[in-house]
């Protein structure tokens, strides 16, 4: 059944687990994620970016996720707008059956320019009012996602460069977070703690100076009843880098957020864990492998089946490690 983010994360907080939010663009991703949720008896957040909505189309996405819910009646599903950039994006998502929206007012609507605090409060509050009138949930974001090593933003929704960021933009301020949640009435809050989008997050296995669990802890202390969201939570596993590179890929060595750090985060208030890059890598590794091992193959299903299996395995692992398993 469809549920809202608020319903799901309230339960997760009560029971002390985290919920992965996997990005979805097509049927194969949907089938693999749902199969993993079903097998581990886990609820799930399926999130669609603006890019996903224009790739698949709103009508296709709505019917696809409705079909998945019908195929897996045991699995609670939250359909969430990832990185909404303005009111129109968020409200049209709700109209298309999304039960939750992210209003990312940390950047202006172009998703390139860091926004002022007042802009962020105002737009998030407006979306919050409208969404709550019709029973949908809202995630806000305070702080700008980016690397503490380089000051670069990574790929905040893939739409372009944000430019150099200062350390205080890159770590959410706990006192400001309290004010933000009070003023906007958002259900969940995305925070900046050193993670960034995409595969190239860290140049080495991250330590406390570049991945600030202390920031999460400080925010959770001041806002114990707010559900915290960790964006850029792909772990960029070495074995997935190796598969891609073994079959003709060229990914320079890189480091993501170790799963054990996310597990620590869940213990200190992280409830929603956003993962896209790992899912992409799991599938693409298999596309490359089949293409190289079976050059005569041209049936797309022969590429999709191992790719779905690899994605399912990744999702199952995250459901188990985040303790989502068993909570459907
Ligand atoms: O936040 C970024 C997500 O990975 C979505 O990426 O905008 O390319 O669909 P996308
Ligand atoms: P990754 O690029 O680390 O998978 O992050 C995805 C994300 O935060 C989507 O909002
Ligand atoms: Zn994100």
pLDDT at 160 over 70: no
ipTM over 0.90 threshold: yes
User: Which numbered atom of ligand 1 lies nearest the CA of 198?
Assistant: 4
pLDDT at 274 over 90: yes
pLDDT at 164 over 90: no
pLDDT at 91 over 90: yes
| pLDDT digit string, tens, across residues 178-236 | 999 999 999 999 999 999 999 999 999 999 999 999 999 999 999 999 999 999 999 99
Q: Which of 82, 157, 173, 278 is catalytic?
A: 82
Q: Calculate mean pLDDT across residues 146-156.
A: 86
Identify the pLDDT of residue 157: 45
Nearest CA to ligand 1 atom 7: 157
Nearest to 80 by CA among 132, 111, 109, 44: 44
DSSP assignment of 162-228 equals: -----HHHHB--HHHHHHHHHHH--SEEEE-BS--BSS--BSSS--TTTS-HHHHHHHHHH-TTSEE
53: Cβ below 6 Å to ligand 1?
A: no
Identify the pLDDT of residue 158: 46
Contact 64, 28 (CB under 8 A): no
Q: Calculate mean pLDDT across residues 300-305.
A: 98
User: Which numbered atom of ligand 2 lies nearest the CA of 155?
Assistant: 2
CA of 231 to the centre of ligand 3 (A): 4
Domain ranges of the chain: 5-321
State how far the Cα of 186 lies from the Cα of 15, in Å rounded to an integer: 21
Identify the pLDDT of residue 221: 98
CA of 273 to the centre of ligand 2 (A): 9
Identify the pLDDT of residue 159: 47
232: Cβ below 6 Å to ligand 2?
A: yes
Tell me, yes or no, if 242 is annotated catalytic. no
Average pLDDT for the chain: 97
Nearest to 202 by CA among 245, 152, 240: 152
CA of 134 to the centre of ligand 3 (A): 24
State how far the Cα of 288 lies from the Cα of 285, in Å rounded to an integer: 5
Q: Which fold has domain 5-321?
A: TIM Barrel (3.20.20)
CA angle 157/6/317 to nearest 5° reads 65
CA of 233 to the centre of ligand 2 (A): 6
Nearest CA to ligand 1 atom 3: 157
**Crossing angle of helices 277-293/27-40, nearest 10°?**
110
Ligand 3 (ion): residues with CB under 5 Å are 231, 274
DSSP assignment of 120-177 equals: HHHHHHHHHHHHHHTT-EEEEEES----TTT---B-GGGS-------HHHHB--HHHH
Ligand that comes closest to the CA of residue 51: 1
């Amino acid at each position: 059944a469809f549920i809202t983010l608020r319903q799901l994360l309230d339960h997760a907080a009560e029971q002390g687990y985290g919920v992965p939010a996997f990005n979805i663009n097509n049927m194969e991703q949907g089938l693999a994620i749902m199969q993993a949720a079903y097998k581990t008896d886990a609820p799930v957040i399926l999130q669609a970016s603006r890019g996903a909505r224009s790739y698949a189309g709103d009508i296709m996405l709505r019917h696809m996720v409705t079909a998945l819910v019908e195929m897996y009646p045991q699995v609670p599903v939250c359909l969430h707008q990832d990185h909404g950039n303005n009111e129109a994006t968020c409200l049209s998502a709700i109209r298309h059956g999304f039960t939750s929206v992210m209003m990312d007012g940390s950047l202006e609507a172009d998703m390139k320019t860091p926004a002022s605090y007042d802009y962020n409060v105002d737009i998030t509050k407006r979306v919050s009012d409208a969404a709550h009138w019709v029973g949908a949930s809202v995630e806000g974001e305070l702080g700008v996602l980016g690397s503490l090593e380089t000051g670069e933003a990574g790929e905040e929704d893939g739409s372009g460069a944000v430019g150099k960021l200062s350390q205080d933009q890159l770590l959410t301020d706990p006192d400001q977070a309290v004010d933000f949640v009070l003023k906007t009435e958002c259900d969940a809050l995305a925070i900046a703690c050193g993670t960034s989008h995409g595969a190239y997050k860290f140049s080495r296995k991250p330590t406390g100076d570049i991945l600030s669990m202390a920031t999460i802890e400080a925010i959770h202390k001041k806002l114990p009843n707010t559900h915290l969201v960790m964006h850029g939570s792909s772990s960029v596993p070495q074995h997935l880098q190796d598969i891609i590179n073994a079959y003709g890929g060229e990914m320079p060595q890189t480091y993501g957020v170790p799963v054990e750090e996310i597990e620590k985060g869940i213990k200190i208030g992280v409830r929603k864990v956003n993962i896209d890059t790992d899912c992409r890598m799991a599938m693409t590794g298999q596309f490359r492998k089949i293409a190289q091992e079976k050059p005569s193959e041209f049936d797309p299903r022969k590429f999709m089946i191992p790719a779905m299996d690899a994605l399912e395995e990744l999702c199952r692992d995250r459901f188990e490690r985040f303790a989502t398993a068993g909570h459907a």
